[in-house]
Amino acid sequence: MDHDADQVARKTPTLLLIDDEPNILAALRRLLHPFGYNILEAASGDEGMTLMRQHPVDLVICDMRMPEMGGAEVLENIRMKWPDTIRILLTGFADLQSTIAAINRGEIYRYLSKPWDDNEVVLTVRDALERKRLLAEKQHLETLTTCQNQELKALNASLESRVLLRTEELYAALEHLRKDYLATVHVFSNLLELRKGKLAGHSRRVALLCRDIARKMNLPETTIQAIETAALLHHIGKLSLPDHLLEKPYLELSETERTEFDKHPLHAAAALMALEPLRQASEIIRHHRDPFAGTDSSRLHGAQLPIGARILSVASDFAGLQLGLLTRANLSPEQAMDVVVHSKNRYDPEVLDVLRSLAPFAAWPAAVASEYLVTSDQLRAGISLRQDIVTGSGVLLLLKDTVLGSEQIQAIRDYERSTGEQLTIYASSI
């Protein structure tokens, strides 16, 4: 029970006795006073209603027969003006019709016959006041419940708004993390390309081709993302190799050199496997140089190889043949396709068929046309990039969809000023 309800329970009841006979009033007062009630007395109906206007009254006992205003009329007026006050009629046996009228007009709680039984009067008053207390408490609880329901409704509405706002913030944070993750992957991809200029842009081209093959094969989007990531990082293990192994085409390496060179996927996988988001990509890299039709029982082959490794194997060699990474000569796309097609034991036939269906013989990655080709002087904070910013040597500077800030714009301008190269920049607006 709360404080207000407790106050309802502890309040001392006030009784109003109305009768034109002083001895009746005195008798009722003597009977009820020992129970601790506040007792008011009135000799007429007018006097009684005057007291009602001055004091809150819980229960009225009114005699039926009084001059000027009878009990039925008094109780009717009290019902209209103070409906919560309990009304008890005191009447004689000869007043049956008047009693019935009082019951109908005054909606009395009970009537008591004169001469009365003291015990009956005490019990009637006690029961009436208890009923009034319970009704008051019920009304208080209903009011409290209504207020709490309204507060709960408002809280729920506020909570929904806060949850929606928090959800939007989380989505924004996740998108920011995703962009940071992609940027980090591209930075790692650039490390070897900065060391060996011939590889500049190679990983990005392989990643694009892997993505096209994987989508053509209707692979899940999560798998496609893992394959793209593996393609961007599949040369990172070469950072552990000496320069002389990177300077020769693969087919010109000695058997000893090839053995050492072929360890670079293991080095890459070992470096990446500790990072949970790159676990799948590290497995793809680990096995991308394993031949599809291999016979070594200690290595995976055929369908045992991750599908990403089978795709990366074809895409990397197809691109490497065109860059002179495998042979001294830079092969044309058609020549590179002939080489991989005739190396059937090394590649998954299904992946080869998909590669051939893509007919990737044009220069790739193809430039994306845009009407917002801008110079660095035209860049403003808040502009979004339509394409990656890549240097002439193939090094990625900024990712597509990056929203430029003042520091990034200044870095772009500083790069152009220090190198003398004008970057190709496609932006959302100027």
Beta strands in 9-84 (DSSP E): 14-18, 38-42, 59-63
The token duo for 339 is 């080489």
Q: Which CATH number is 208's domain given?
A: 1.10.3210.10
Same domain, 202 and 346: yes
**Last residue of some domain: 140, 164, 179?**
140
Tokens standing for 44?
Answer: 């007429």
Residue with tokens 């909570």: 159
Question: Has residue 116 been placed in a domain?
Answer: yes
Q: Which whole-number Å values give the CA distances from 118 to 30, 103, 121, 122, in the listed order? A: 11, 22, 5, 6
Last residue of a domain, one of 341, 365, 389: 365
> Do 359 and 380 have their domain in common?
no
Report the pLDDT value the prediction gives residue 97, as an integer from 0 to 100.
Answer: 66
Q: What CATH number corresponds to the domain at position 118?
A: 3.40.50.2300
Residues in the chain where the model's pLDDT stays below 70: 1-10, 93-102, 104-106, 171, 173-201, 295-298, 359-372, 394, 429-430
Out of 309, 342, 365, a domain closes at: 365
Question: In terms of domains, do 316 and 237 share one?
Answer: yes
* Helix (H), strand (E) at residue 328: none
Counting the structural domains of the chain, the total is 3
**Around 116, how many Cα atoms within 13 Å sit in the side-chain half-sphere?**
22
With respect to residue 179, please indicate whether it lies within any of the assigned structural domains.
Answer: no
Q: Are 425 and 374 in contact (CB under 8 A)?
A: yes
Query: Residue 414: how many CA atoms within 13 Å on its side-chain side?
Result: 7
- CATH number of the domain bearing residue 411: 3.90.105
Evaluate whether residue 172 is within a structural domain: no
Flag whether 160 is in a domain.
no
Residue 291 belongs to what domain range?
A: 196-365
Is 403 in a helix, a strand, or coil?
A: strand
Q: Which two tokens stand for residue 233?
A: 């990082």
In a domain, 150, yes or no: no
Please give the pLDDT value at position 6: 46
| Beta carbons within 10 angstroms of residue 119's beta carbon | 9
Residues 388, 347 within the same domain: no
Residues 136 and 248 placed together within one structural domain of the fold = no
User: Is the domain of 396 the same as that of 360?
Assistant: no
Do 331 and 253 lie in one domain? The reply is yes
Q: How far is CA 423 from the centre of its chain?
A: 40
Residues 16, 61: Cα–Cα separation, whole Å: 6
State whether 100 and 224 are in the same domain: no
pLDDT of amino acid 1: 43
> Do 106 and 242 reside in the same domain of the chain?
no
Residues 387 and 304 in one domain: no
Task: Spell out the SS3 assignment of 87-115.
Answer: EEEEEECCCHHHHHHHHHHHCCCEEEEEC
Residue 418's CB is within 10 A of a number of other CB atoms, namely 8
Return all residues near 322 (Cβ < 8 A) that are at least 6 apart: 330, 331, 332, 333, 336
Q: Tell me, yes or no, whether 214 and 339 share the same domain.
A: yes
Q: Burial letters for 228-247: b for 16+ Cβ neighbours within 10 Å, e otherwise?
A: bbbbbbbbbbbbebeeeebe
What integer pLDDT is reported at residue 370 of this predicted model?
A: 39
92/116 Cα distance (integer angstroms): 9
Measured distance CA(162)–CA(56) in Å, rounded: 47
User: Which runs of E-coded beta strand occur in 19-165?
Assistant: 38-42, 59-63, 86-92, 110-114
Residues 382 and 344 in one domain: no
**425, β-bridge pairs:** 374
Distance CA 323, CA 421 (A): 23
Q: Omega before 34 cis (within 30°)?
A: no
